[in-house]
Amino acid sequence: MPTFRASSNGPDWRPVASLATLRLRARALQRVRAFFADRGLLEVDTPQLSAAAATDLHLESLQVSQPGGAALGWLHTSPEFPMKRLLAAGAGDIWQLARVFRGAESGRRHNPEFTLLEWYRVGWNAAALMDEVDDFLRAVAGPENRGQIPIEVRRLSYREAFTSYAGFDPFVAATDDIVRQLARHGVAVPNSLGDDRAACLDLAMATLVEPALDPRQPTFICDFPATHAALARLKPGNPPVADRFELFLGGMELANGFHELTDAAEQAGRFEADLDARRARGLVEPPMERRLIAAMTQGLPDCAGVALGFDRLVMILAGASHIDEVLAFPWGHC
């Protein structure tokens, strides 16, 4: 990463990413477009600013005000809702490169504004989409990076990942046991976590499972517990699991995919439950996206969708350890 010295002529105006990295980024963008054009998906672009917002307990949407202070709307955290409305309108397979915004996310792998690549396949399930994500990775990496992404892709279930690397079964372990396992691995568990079992699983995922995965091997973790279903449909079974996957590469979560929930009533119920949980914690309660519920009531086709962090993909291709290295002007420089 080039280090520029602040000049005597005012603030540092220079880009953080090197020009070589920006060229690599541009090449990756060209390959993304070529990949979807070859496969016949329709490129769409949907608004960044919306009257409704994500209700997810762990996503903080940024709110935009009018001059004078009156609220105008919310910046999207992903283009998922309008893309699903397009699917309900019969658009077929669609894709989009979206600039999205998430408040209170900043770190080595997080910038408050980032580029999310999202695509949907009508009539597909999560397993079929995982195969396509794998093809996509190789296409974007290109021949010059062939060595960087091994042929062997690994798939393991959420349960296998936890029993192998965290030392407990995420479907049966009691919260106390999870906390004990975390402590045994040297992860201090904040007292404020209390008996929030889902958050304990998240901590174990981030501190025990993720670091244990081979950073050079694309690894899909699938079949999440129902508490982690988000917008995925549940697969019947004992216990039922969410038909959802996450892709890990380079020691990071790179993509998240769902066999999408299509049941409007269940979707509305999950939004309501999110808002109840937000209220209980004293968090902001953004207006839920009722237009999505209306579209789903009309009929969302059976489909699978995935969102992939484009900046993180560039990090892997560039061998960067900080997201700032692949952004011309990361937050703090713009």
Within residues 188-247, the interface with another protein by CB under 8 A covers: 188-190, 192-193, 196, 198-199, 201-203, 205-207, 210, 228, 230, 246
Scored b (16 or more CB within 10 A) or e, 21-33 reads bbebbeebbeebe
User: In degrees, to the nearest 5, what angle opens at C-alpha 114 toward C-alphas 112 and 118?
Assistant: 135
User: Do 306 and 116 meet the contact criterion of CB atoms below 8 Å apart?
Assistant: no
SS (H, E, C) 158-190: HHHHHHHHCCCCCCCCCHHHHHHHHHHCCCCCC
Among 18, 51, 63, 105, binds another protein (CB under 8 A): 105
Q: Which residues pair with 94 in a beta bridge?
A: 42, 120
Considering only 103-111, 117-125, 152-160, 324-332, which stretch makes contact with another protein by CB under 8 A?
103-111
* Beta-ladder partners of 95: 43, 119
User: Which is closer to another protein, CB of 112 or CB of 142?
Assistant: 112
Nearer to another protein, 147 or 190 (CB): 190
Binding to another protein by residue 256, rule CB under 8 A?
Answer: yes
Question: Min. distance of Cβ 158 from another protein in angstroms?
Answer: 11
With binding defined as CB under 8 A, does residue 52 bind another protein? no
- 42-50, 186-194, 287-295, 314-322 -> range binding another protein (CB under 8 A): 186-194
Choose between 53 and 203: whose C-beta lies nearer to another protein: 203
d(CA 309, CA 326): 12
Q: Which stretch binds another protein (CB under 8 A): 52-60, 82-90, 93-101, 286-294?
A: 52-60
Please, what is the minimum distance in Å from the beta carbon of residue 253 to another protein?
5
Number of residues that bind another protein (CB under 8 A): 32
3-state per-residue secondary structure call for 208-219 = HHHHHCCCCCCE
Q: Nearest approach, Cβ of 205 to another protein (angstroms)?
A: 5
Interaction of residue 291 with another protein, rule CB under 8 A: no
> Of the candidates 101, 45, 100, 52, which has an alpha carbon nearest to the alpha carbon of residue 72?
52
Contact at 8 Å (CB) between 93 and 36? no
Phi, psi of 280 (to 5 degrees): -60, -30
| Residues of this chain that bind another protein (CB under 8 A) | 56, 58-59, 104-110, 186-190, 192-193, 196, 198-199, 201-203, 205-207, 210, 228, 230, 246, 253, 256
